[in-house]
A and B are shown apart, each in its own frame.
Chain A
Amino acid sequence: MDKFILNVIHRPELVPEYIDTSAQEGQTEEVSKKEVVSESLDIFRLQQNIAHQNGLRTTIQMTYSSLFNDECIEMAKQYHQEFGDEIGHTFLGLNCKEFRDKYHSKELAMWLFPMDLKQKIVVDSFELFKDVFGFYPTSTGSYFLDAELINFIKEKYPMIKTAIATCFEEGPKIFRHTNSSWYTLMDGSPWTAWIPSKKNTHAIAENEDDDIGIVALPHLSRDLLAIMDNAGDMFGTHPQNIIRGLIYEDDRLPYMYNLVDQYQVMKKFNKGFSYNLAYVGPGWMGKGGRWEAPYRILKKSYEDFIAYYGHLKSEGKIQDMTMTEFADWFRGNQPRSGPLVGLWKDLLYGTKNQAFWYADSKFRVQIDLKQGGAITDLRPYASKLTRPCGAGTKANQDASYPYIVHSRYRAGAFTHYAGEGAIKSCKVRHGAEEVDVSACRTTGAYDEGEGCRILNIRPVEIEFANLTIKLATTYTFKENTGEILISRKFIESSDPNAKIEIDEFLASCWGTTEYPEDLTGCVLSVIEKDGSRNELSYEYRCREYAADNIQSVEAVIPHVQTKVSLIPQSPKCGGYYEEGYSFAPNLKLGVVKTIGLNEELVTCLKVEQAK
């Protein structure tokens, strides 16, 4: 397969979040002002013209407000007739006079309404769409749609095939970036198209029974390395987001082309398939400019960006589809449960840094090659957490899928006197010396095997006072099993007789933000070779236990219904757990083995749903 597919989406948002200046200081609030509506429609028209001039079809996502605007409805019909654009639907742009009169609410986020109102809005909006166009939409979207709402939509409107279901890694980093005012707290999804579980939108479906019935799309295709430590709203297929990040000089934004080209390269890791979604709301192209950028640059950046897609199309390197066409294609050509894979290279900071991403129905894993190939973010999709969001739910605004490792939110490699925070790494010991492999910068190479995806990490050199060694690491992801085989091989040594100790460890916790969550009640266990089990219930008492010859070590984190285990595949390995305490709120598991030159320790990291 050689397929790079593009969705270009435009929405006539008649009262866009950013363009409506009526609520600015010194002016009274008045939605649906004529000049705002007129400018918004002009921008929509301009965006559509740019796409069509470059030979690209679009999906027009009709907003609630646009369904009351005759001019807009007529435009959508004409575009559909003349260019074959899809007339789709979105829950963005709800706010307008008609909406406020009917719902008496200023809430703008569909996923944050109480469920009864969500359902009412779905029916109201879809029936209105049908009245206007004579048919129901087959695509919809929002910044986020929880599984509970998608299930309702599918039950009531089974013709829906696809939805923009989340914004990739819009979470605490973006919340902070927006002065804690933009409530898109939704970390934890795949970065490209996927089929969600019926139980949780973020998680990839296990099988046909678990298939929620739509193809989910992430709002924008983002830089998989830049977003790890930065707000994603500066690094995506959205030129004005790039301008927001000040990644430009005058009207030059080569980074936006680099992003698209790196997504072309992603075909290499996904059996020939890659995907881009371009989606710029009208508020980003207002005549008044956006922050420091004048209209001239906002407009030109969009023209250049879309022209590049048009150029790729003319060269046969990309195929433009509407959202529904893509959903049909995806259903027919991609496996339901993934995996999705990316080995992303830095194209912005001038480093050799790389990040490896892997997702299937059991987990989403981020590996930071700059940190020796440590796992720095792990989301346990296997647990298929029921976690509705919005008013009236426990999560409310926090729509993220919880992590069990997050090195940037929760300290990661050793950063203070309490030891390491959340990370999956390995320590190498010789005598009294110890080196965490996460201190060794390296890069990776991708490979595939039968039913598995492989990340070969280039060997790292470790210097002790009187010994220098090289250690090679390989991750083998056994597709849709929840298992990763991690091999650490001692391949070179300044002393061929030297022995080193490998401590393959996992420091874990759970949460969705930077702040600690309660670990009370987690169960840590060491299961010895003879079957005996030593376990404790987590109480922040800093207890630990180790054994010389183990079957496995494991932790059950009931708060996220997840069991995580380290299972040695090599003979005669030791193992341990460490409880942690309130100033170091993690749990730690480890497998330990002493090896000589050309020997290896292989450990299986297993993530499964806790019963």
Chain B
Amino acid sequence: MSQGRAGKINYRCPNCLFRDIDFDLLYDKEENQYYCRRCNWEGMEEEILFQYAAYKRKYKDMLKRYTVEDILAKDEE
């Protein structure tokens, strides 16, 4: 088995991301699999993207635009 390398896209470990650690995944071309050297996460690209989407769910207003007026209105609530 040859060494792990950076994948075409430099994904971070989703498991580490959830505990607020940025840690790059390595790619195993023979297994077509990403894996983390820090924790025990391994998986396919689809699993990474699925967990990224789950990570973003905490940002409920991620795509909401708050203008100055909206923010000032919060003061009056």
Contact = CB atoms under 8 A, between A and B. Distances in A.
Interface of A: 24-26, 173, 176-179, 230-231, 244, 246-249, 252, 254-255, 257-258, 261-262, 264-265, 268, 289-292, 343, 345-350, 352, 443, 445-446
Residue of B11, B60, B66, B77 with most chain A CB atoms under a 10 A cut-off:
B66
A345 B58 CA distance: 16
Given A179-B22, A179-B23, A246-B55, A291 B12 contact: yes
Nearest to A346: B61
B60 A349 contact: yes
Interface size grouping (class) on chain B: 35 or more
Contacts, number: 97
A567 to B, nearest CB: 32
Contact of A177 (B20, B62, B65, B75): B20
Interface of B: 3, 5-6, 9-12, 16-17, 20-24, 38, 52, 55-56, 58-68, 70-72, 74-75, 77
Contacts of B16: 179
B9 A349 contact: no
A67 B35 CA distance: 42
Contact of A349 (B55, B61, B66): B61
Contacts of A268: 72, 75
B52 to A, nearest CB: 6
Contacts of A252: 63
B9 A292 contact: yes
Nearest to B58: A349
B60 A264 contact: no
Contact of B22 (A26, A177, A258): A177
A223 to B, nearest CB: 12
A257 B71 CA distance: 12
Nearest to A178: B22
A255 B62 contact: yes
24 contacts: A24-B6, A25-B3, A176-B21, A178-B21, A178-B22, A179-B16, A179-B38, A254-B64, A255-B59, A257-B65, A258-B66, A261-B66, A262-B66, A264-B68, A268-B72, A289-B9, A291-B24, A343-B75, A347-B64, A348-B60, A348-B61, A348-B62, A349-B59, A350-B61
Given A177-B21, A291-B10, A291-B12, A248 B71 contact: no
A264 B10 CA distance: 36
Given A249-B56, A254-B65, A349-B58, 18 more contacts: A26-B3, A178-B21, A178-B22, A179-B22, A244-B22, A246-B17, A246-B52, A247-B59, A255-B59, A261-B67, A261-B71, A291-B12, A292-B11, A347-B61, A349-B59, A350-B60, A350-B61, A443-B77
Given A24-B6, A264-B68, A443-B77, A231 B20 contact: yes
B21 A179 contact: yes
**Closest 8 A/B residue pairs (Cβ):** A350-B60, A254-B65, A258-B66, A350-B61, A265-B71, A345-B74, A347-B66, A261-B68
A445 B72 CA distance: 11
B6 A248 contact: no
Contact of A292 (B12, B68, B77): B12
Contacts of B38: 179
Contacts of B67: 261
A528 B4 CA distance: 69
